[in-house]
Amino acid sequence: MTDAEQPATIRLEVARYRPEQDSEPVFQGYDVPLMDDWAVLDGLAYVKDRLDGSLSFRWSCRMGICGSCGMNVNGEPRLTCGSFLAEYGDGPIRIEPLKGFPVIRDLVVDIDDFLDKLSSVRPWLIREGEEPPLTAEYAQTPEQLDAYKQYSMCVNCMLCYSACPVYVLDPDFLGPAAIALAQRYNLDSRDMGDRFDVLNLDEAVWGCVFVGDCTRVCPKHVDPAEAIQRYKLTAALRSVLPWSRR
C-alpha cells in the first residue's frame, strides 16, 4: 500500500476493565487499518503499539498453538490470531474477554481454576511396577496412537469452557478440556491408571448436558463433547457392571 492511499479502517469495540478505575467493563472504540491478512490479534497489537499502550491482552505464538489469545469476538469464543479482520465485513468488531472467567484486566481472564482442575484428573502416564530402563520405548502401534491422539491436541485455550453454558453457570463443573485430557490418558494404551474417582462425579462428566458447543468452538478439533459422552458410557457401564474396567 502506498502512503498516498488512505487505507480502509475497521472499528474495534474493545472491552476495557481497569480495576483501579472501572467498576465494570466499558467499551472503547479504536479504528485500525483493515488489511486483508491481518488477524484480529494484529488489530489489537496495532492498538497497543500505535493508539493506546494501556490495553492489556495475552498473546504469544500468533500461530494458533500456544493457546493464549482466546477472546470473545462478536460473541463467539475465538483464537484472535486465527480470526481475520476481513471476516467481519465492515465491522465494528466487538472484542471481549472470554466469558465464564473472572476478568483480571481488559481482555485478560483468570484461568487458574482450570489448572487446578487439570491437575485433579492426573494428566500424566500412570504405570505400575518398576520404571523400565531408558533403553527402549513402550510399543504403541499407529492404531493405538490414533485411539487417543485427537484428545492430545488440546492447547488449553479455554474456548470450550467459555462456550459451555454449564461451566458459565457453575464454575465447579470440571469442564470439557480437563475431561478430554483425562480421556487422552485413559485411552492411551500405555496408561494403567484409573480416573473413575475423579470423572464419575456430579460435577465431572455427569455435569455435562451435552450442549456440544465446546466441540463447535474448539479450534483444534479435540471434540471434548465426544470425550465426555464416551466416558459417561464407560462410567455407567462400570457402575452397573462393577467388575468391568474402562
Partner 1 sequence: MTVRAPYRPPRDRLWFTRTRSATVFVLRELTSVFVAWSVVFLLLLADAVLSGTTREFAALAARPWMIALNVVALAATAFHAVTFLNLAPKATVVRLDGWRVPDWVIQGGNHSAWLVISGLIAYFVLRSS
Partner 2 sequence: MKRTLEPYLWLLFSGGGVVAALALPVLVLLFGVLMPLGVVDWPSAGHLTALLDHLLVRLALVVVVVLCLFHAAHRIRFTSEELLGIARFDLVIAVLCYGAAVAGGVTAAVVLL
Partner 3 sequence: MIDVLIVGGGGAGLRAALAVAETDPALKVAVVSKVYPMRSHTVSAEGGAAAVIGVGDTLDEHCYDTISGGDWLCDQDAVEAFVAEAPRELIQLEHWGCPWSREADGRVAVRPFGGMKRMRTWYAADKTGFHLLHTLFQTTLKYQDIIRYDEWYVTTLVVDDGRVHGVVALDIRTGRVETIAARTVILATGGGGRVFPFTTNAAIKTGDGMALAYRAGAPLKDMEFVQYHPTGLPFTGILITEAARAEGGWLINKDGYRYLQDYDLGRPTPTPRLRAMELGPRDRLSQAFVHEQRKGRTVDTPYGPVVYLDLRHLGESKIDARIPFVRELCRSYQNLDPATDLIPVRPVVHYMMGGVHTDLDGATTIAGLFAAGETACVSINGANRLGSNSLPEILVFGRRAGVAAAEFARAHRESEPPAVRSQGDDEARRLARTREGSRTGERIADLRERMQHALEGAAGIYRTGDELTKAVDTLADLRERAQEARLEDTSATFNTELINLQELCAMLDVARTVVACALGRQESRGAHQRTDFPARDDETYLAHSLVHRAPDGTPSVGLLPVTITRWPPGERVYGRD
Nearer to ligand SF4, 190 or 216 (CB): 216
Q: Does 161 bind partner 3 (CB under 8 A)?
A: no
- CB–CB of 162/77 below 8 Å? yes
Nearer to partner 1, 132 or 165 (CB): 165
Partner whose footprint covers residue 224, from partner 3, ligand SF4, partner 2, none (CB < 5 to 8 Å by kind): ligand SF4
38 C-beta neighbours (distance < 10 Å), count: 17
Alpha-carbon gap, residue 41 to 45, rounded angstroms:
6
6 C-beta neighbours (distance < 10 Å), count: 8
Partner whose footprint covers residue 198, from ligand SF4, partner 1, partner 3, none (CB < 5 to 8 Å by kind): none
Alpha-carbon gap, residue 86 to 238, rounded angstroms:
50
Nearer to ligand FES, 68 or 215 (CB): 68
- CB–CB of 176/211 below 8 Å? no
27 forms beta bridges with 15
Nearer to partner 2, 120 or 144 (CB): 120
Least distance from C-beta 163 to ligand F3S, angstroms?
Answer: 6
Whether the CA torsion 126, 131, 137, 139 is positive or negative: it is: negative
Alpha-carbon gap, residue 99 to 89, rounded angstroms:
24
Nearer to ligand SF4, 44 or 180 (CB): 180
Least distance from C-beta 88 to partner 1, angstroms?
Answer: 16
Q: Does 111 bind ligand SF4 (CB under 6 A)?
A: no
Q: Which helix (H) or strand (E) holds 10?
A: strand 9-16
- CB–CB of 176/225 below 8 Å? yes
Q: Which stretch binds ligand SF4 (CB under 6 A): 5-13, 42-50, 133-141, 174-182?
A: 174-182
Site for ligand SF4 in 180-209 (CB under 6 A): 180
Partner whose footprint covers residue 56, from partner 2, partner 1, ligand SF4, none (CB < 5 to 8 Å by kind): none
52, 110, 116, 202: residue in contact with partner 1 (rule CB under 8 A): 110
Buried b / exposed e across 97-122, counting CB within 10 Å, b at 16+? Answer: bbbbbebebbbbbebebbeebbeebb
Least distance from C-beta 213 to partner 3, angstroms?
Answer: 21
Rule CB under 8 A: which residues touch partner 3?
A: 1, 18-20, 37, 48-50, 52-54, 56-68, 82, 104-106, 108, 111-112, 115, 118-119, 122-125, 127, 131-132, 134-142, 144-145, 148-149, 152-156, 181, 185, 188, 190-191
